[in-house]
Amino acid sequence: MAAAGNKAEIIRAIFAAYLANDREGVAQAFAEDFRFNTPYGENIDKPTYFDKCWRNSDWIGRHETERIMVEGGDAFVTYRCVARDGKSFRNTEFFVFEGDRVKRVDVYFGPSHQDGKLVKQER
């Protein structure tokens, strides 16, 4: 996937794998005991993540990485995801690494983003 030890490059490779709809590449980047958390309180394991959260990435036009901050085995990434239909949103994710594999991701959902501005979420 990416150079061993370079957490920022591993994260970039994971995002590239999502765009390529490379489920196996993403799965290999995750530790076997991987956990995924959202503001809704989920704490799901790796098989459940791929069952509930993985979907075909054809709807994604691009990811715009704004920043990746790494400290030891932890990293934050803030990005804007732009869908092919022009809708977009901005999220921050907290990655916890175990060696060169991702042990946990906590996602913090952000607001919709349009024309360079944050806009109120539609319900």
pLDDT score recorded for residue 52: 85
Instruction: Tell me the CATH number at 57.
Output: 3.10.450.50
For every residue of 11-80, DSSP letters joined together read HHHHHHHHHTT-HHHHHHHEEEEEEEE-TT--EEEHHHHHHHT---GGGEEEEEEEEEEEETTEEEEEEE
pLDDT score recorded for residue 41: 73
pLDDT band at 26, cuts 50/70/90? Answer: very high
Domain of residue 56, residue span: 7-115
Pick from 56, 42, 16, 38: which is nearest to 92 by CA? 38
Secondary structure letter of residue 7 according to DSSP: H
pLDDT score recorded for residue 39: 84
CA count, 13 A, side-chain hemisphere, 36? 14
Residue 78 maps to a domain: yes
| Number of domains making up the chain | 1
Q: What is the pLDDT of residues 56-112, one digit of tens each?
A: 777 888 999 999 999 999 999 999 988 899 888 889 999 999 999 999 999 998 766
pLDDT score recorded for residue 86: 84
Listed ranges 10-14, 61-65, 119-123; the one with the highest mean pLDDT: 10-14
